[in-house]
Amino acid sequence: MQSPTILSCENGWLKIAGAGVFSTARTFDCGQCFRFGPMPAHLPPPPASDAVWGIAYDRQVAFADDGVYLYVYADKEAFESIWLQYLSLDADYAYADERLVHALSGPSQAHMQAALEAARGIRILRQDPWETLCSFIISQNNNIPRIRKIIEALCRQYGQEIPGGYAFPTPNALAGAGQDAIFACGAGFRAAYIWEAAEKIAGGAFSLAAVQQAQSYEEANQLLCSLRGVGPKVSACTLLFGFGRIEAFPIDVWMQRVIDRRFGGKLDPTVFGDWAGLAQQYLFYYERYASHSS
């Protein structure tokens, strides 16, 4: 596996070689995160047309790619300490892709191969656990535009102002804001869940570190599901995108449709081993955007 290397920096954009197959468009349009969108006017134009800008880990950042090179709007120190890991550039996705295809056989293998080819370049983002937990609590019975709107309202009201926007509010900030204030940001019935989680974390009754340090997926899942409003799907998404548990396989309406239509109603995610979450993203993306078969 080749290591990512910074080749140059021009107008604040780092040019990265050796990042493997990486698709900015696919990675940031497959339901993993909710704070990225089109490039703003206040930043230098990206060196490639596929570009996104957003806020993560309390700072603004932008990513772009031209199919050969990855471009990151950040300084070298931030890339090496935050964004390299955030984009999973230290993981061997070529090996993962081979594992996923060979985990199945027959028509199931053919469908997995088609999904992989259509969605290749997606990377599992390693996001902040607290932000990820809140984001997927908000995602319940919701759509992406509204999820984005609620998160943005919470950040503007209770997040720290930073260059380019606002950081995601801390557990202390949301615990102090209160349930009614979170409700006023459009969270609806989810306000109670967010506030209770924030209060428990701020007060020490619940530990995100304990989830991170759990010895097994089952233990981590059990801990998260002890929070009110966190069920199997929210827990799986949080573990996959916020805690680096790539074996997580969230099942929502889209994924149940995939299992029913493409796998005869039977698919055991454990066949994909430690890369089940990547298989889920490929299958989700293919079903939603690329597959035109009945």
Rounded Cα distance, 278 and 106, in Å = 20
Residue 56 corresponds to which tokens in the numbers above? 């993560």
Does residue 233 have an active-site annotation?
yes
Pairing type for strands 36-37 and 161-162 reads unpaired
**DSSP 8-state code for residue 35:** S
Which amino acid belongs to residue 265?
A: G
Which two three-digit tokens encode residue 63? 């990513």
Sort 254 into a burial class: Cβ within 10 Å, 0-12 / 13-18 / 19+: middle
Paired sense of beta strands 13-17 and 50-56, if any: unpaired
The answer to whether 169 touches 155, Cβ cutoff 8 Å, is yes
Task: Kindly state the tokens that stand for 221.
Answer: 């899942």
The CA distance from 284 to 252, in Å, is 10
Q: CA-to-CA distance for 291 and 56, rounded, in angstroms?
A: 31
Q: Where are the alpha helices (DSSP H) in 28-143?
A: 76-78, 84-86, 93-102, 106-119, 129-138
Task: Name the active-site residue from 15, 200, 233, 266.
Answer: 233
The first and second tokens of residue 71, run together, are 């471009």
Query: Would you give the DSSP letter of residue 200?
Result: H
Q: Which DSSP letter does residue 290 get?
A: I
Instruction: Classify strands 36-37 and 50-56 as parallel, antiparallel or unpaired.
Output: antiparallel
Q: Please give the positions annotated as active site.
A: 233
